[in-house]
Structure 1
Amino acid sequence: MKHENIILFVIVLIILIVPLALYSGLGEEQGYFGGSDDQGADGVSETGYKPWFSSIWEPPSGEIESLLFAVQAAIGAIIIGYFFGYWRGSVKEEE
């Protein structure tokens, strides 16, 4: 049992260390951590597309934008959780 724990610990260390070694301090400017959102926006801008409207309000910083996104996700999760709970409760009540 003790050898299994040591082997699992070594595997976890390898899983943690390898990505950090591959990262080597390079950032987004060097092409690391670029997502599909960036690639999609670049692809659309290459076509010469001009937006036909602009946002009514833009958050003052990326942190506030992330906060609003998280709040929106939480509200959606609460609503979905309520309906799943309601559905499960009505099924149990019928039994």
Structure 2
Amino acid sequence: MKKNLVLILIVVLLAVFPLFIQKGAEFGGADGKAESEIGNIAPDYEPWFSSIWEPPSGEIESLLFSLQAAIGAGFIGYFVGLNKGKHKKFTQKRKEE
């Protein structure tokens, strides 16, 4: 229990610490930086394809991204828990034999 609390505290500090060190900094994504760098390297570059749908605002884009991450984490967590439960049931069954 104590180890979990320490790990949670470390994760929170890792997430919050940069916000205090870099006050007023913009934390943009890698997509924007990559796009500007490609423009610097090859100004005549044309993308192969464009997006099917653009979200109306950055907030909705963030919402969809976090929703996608939450669904993925739930999916992974479900199968990890399911396999752990199967393993625990299997080991208990072997101990009884």
Tell me the TM-score normalized by structure 1.
0.63
The 5 A counterparts of 1:10-89 are: 19=21, 23=23, 27=24, 32-33=25-26, 35=28, 37=30, 38-46=32-40, 47-48=42-43, 49-89=45-85
For residues 85 and 61 of structure 1, the distance between their equivalents in structure 2, rounded to whole angstroms, comes to: 36
Cα separation, partners in 2 of 1:34 and 1:79, compared to 1, 3 Å:
closer
Greater C-alpha radius of gyration: 1
Aligned to 1:92: 88
Alignment coverage as a number of residue pairs = 71
Percent identity between the two aligned chains: 50
- Root-mean-square deviation over aligned CA pairs: 2.4
Structure 1 runs not aligned, ≥5 long: 1-14
Deviations 1:4-54, CA, capped at 9 Å, x for gaps: xxxxxxxxxxx7xx63xx63xxx4xxxx43546233221111212211211
TM-score (norm 2): 0.62
Structure 1 residue runs of 4 or more that deviate by more than 6 Å after TM superposition: none
SS at match of 1:52: coil
